[in-house]
Chain A
Amino acid sequence: MDFREMMESKYRELLENYIKEQSEQALYAGQKFSRKTIEQKISPEEIVSLHKSLLIEMYPDVPEKVINSFDILLEVMIGYGLAYREHQSLRHKQEELRSEMEIAANVQQTLLGTKVPVINGLDIGAISVPAKHMNGDYYHFVHDENNCISVAIADVIGKGIPAALCMSMIKYSMDSLPENRMGPSSILENLNRVVEQNVDPSMFITMFYGMYDPATNILSYASAGHEPGIYYNAEKKEFTELSARGLLLGVEKRTKYKEYKKEILPGDMVILMSDGVTECRTDEGFIERETLLGYINKYIHLSAQEIVNRIFKELEKLQHFQLRDDFTLIILKRDV
């Protein structure tokens, strides 16, 4: 027996039961029935028409006026049926889009993937979590043949897919820069030209670029409008801003970037972040830099990776697990 035949006898039974005793139970059976018919894609007008024909069959003395009134109900229900079918097809499309987005996010992860280098004397931790599917933040490590460790952290102004696509472009420009030792400022100057030429005029990128030489323990760095990093002086147990001035990438073609240098002593840390960290908004307003420093202090005894993981958990909790912006945090810690 196919569903439609079964539906007819089932509906007849429901109707008979309810007309006989008008119980809650009989009503509930109607609810259950509708779940089944929705599953089978039975339209509302079909149910009305079934109701009408069963009524004529079961109670031949029902006034004609009542029977005729069902034609109006049927017409009205056709509209609902169409809307429902449209809703179903949109839901289906949405599912499709969602799975495509997931695939795209995975592709992005693979394209932008970077390995945190393992090197004697320097402990590195990094975390990057997108607010939506695709990440507009980006970080990249290079361990070059001179044993220098370079780190880039960037944020595309704008979120979602356009930002993510833009990030992929940056990654490829960075890969195509000559391998020979370019300093942070000349790398930013190069990328600035690429972004200025290729990107939509209201899309911009902030980037911090640092290069650490384990032979001299000097960190050279430059910033293109990026959220300032933090330097932790282990001896004085003191945090200071790793200030660097420089314009966003993509605004002016001939921007120059100043290069800064900082000596990193045993136990010292360099903390880099995206504005998703400092623009973390809670019920009481923004988190203050002190709050962030408080968390760093709280976990300072742990490894760099553990520190960034724990700080992310704390800030995520403060925002009720709803990230408003992509979140990236990197810690470089010189071994004692």
Chain B
Amino acid sequence: MNISIDVKEKDTAIELTVSGEIDAYTAPKLRETLFPLSEENGVNMVVDLSGVSYMDSTGLGVFVGVFKNVRANDGQFKIVGLSERLQRLFEITGLADIININSQIEGGV
């Protein structure tokens, strides 16, 4: 079970591309990377999950925590590239109603 997180800091936003599996073993790594970024004032974060093959509720917990941090710091947070299964996870948990999720990757044709 592996995860890779690629961070690109651009002028307007921090883009994170996550691939692999997000579960109880890999979630701490995700949290370590995302939390410090989410605590910056006025941060604009975009997380691309199109390379994520599996995510359990532990991963969901990380994203909720990040979302709350970003909101508390007047920033913006967006998740893109959700697979059908992940989309369903966000819908069931009601998070789709509060977190900006977009199944299309921006910048595509």
A residues apposed to B, CB below 8 Å: 155, 157-159, 201-204, 206, 224-228, 245-248, 251-252, 275, 279, 286, 325
Contacts and interface: CB of A to CB of B under 8 A. Distances in A.
B78 to A, nearest CB: 17
10 contacts: A157-B60, A158-B61, A202-B65, A204-B60, A227-B92, A245-B97, A248-B94, A251-B94, A251-B95, A286-B85
Contacts of A286: 85
A252 B61 CA distance: 14
Contacts of A325: 56
Contacts of B31: 202
Contact of B92 (A158, A159, A226): A226
Contacts of A275: 56-57
B58 A248 contact: no
Nearest to A243: B92
Contacts, number: 54
Contacts of A248: 64, 93-95
Interface residues of B, number: 18
Contacts of B62: 202
Given A251-B98, A279-B56, A203 B93 contact: no
Overall SS of chain A's interface = loop
Given A202-B65, A325-B56, A247 B92 contact: no
A245 to B, nearest CB: 6
A170 to B, nearest CB: 16
Interface of B: 24, 31, 56-58, 60-62, 64-65, 68, 85, 92-95, 97-98
Given A225-B95, A226-B92, A247-B94, A155 B57 contact: yes
A214 B85 CA distance: 37
Overall SS of chain B's interface = helix
B7 to A, nearest CB: 20
Contacts of B98: 247, 251-252
Nearest to A257: B94
User: Top 10 nearest A-B pairs by Cβ distance?
Assistant: A247-B94, A202-B65, A225-B93, A157-B57, A157-B61, A225-B94, A202-B61, A248-B93, A246-B94, A201-B65
A224 B94 CA distance: 8
Given A157-B57, A275-B56, 16 more contacts: A157-B60, A201-B65, A204-B60, A206-B93, A224-B94, A225-B92, A227-B92, A245-B94, A245-B97, A246-B94, A247-B97, A248-B93, A251-B64, A252-B98, A275-B57, A279-B56
A157 B92 contact: no
A248 B64 CA distance: 10
Contacts of B24: 159
The residue in B61, B65, B98 that gathers the most chain A C-beta atoms within 10 A of its C-beta is: B61
A147 B68 CA distance: 41
Nearest to B35: A202
B93 A159 contact: no
Nearest to A246: B94
Given A159-B24, A252-B98, A279-B56, A247 B93 contact: yes
A258 to B, nearest CB: 10
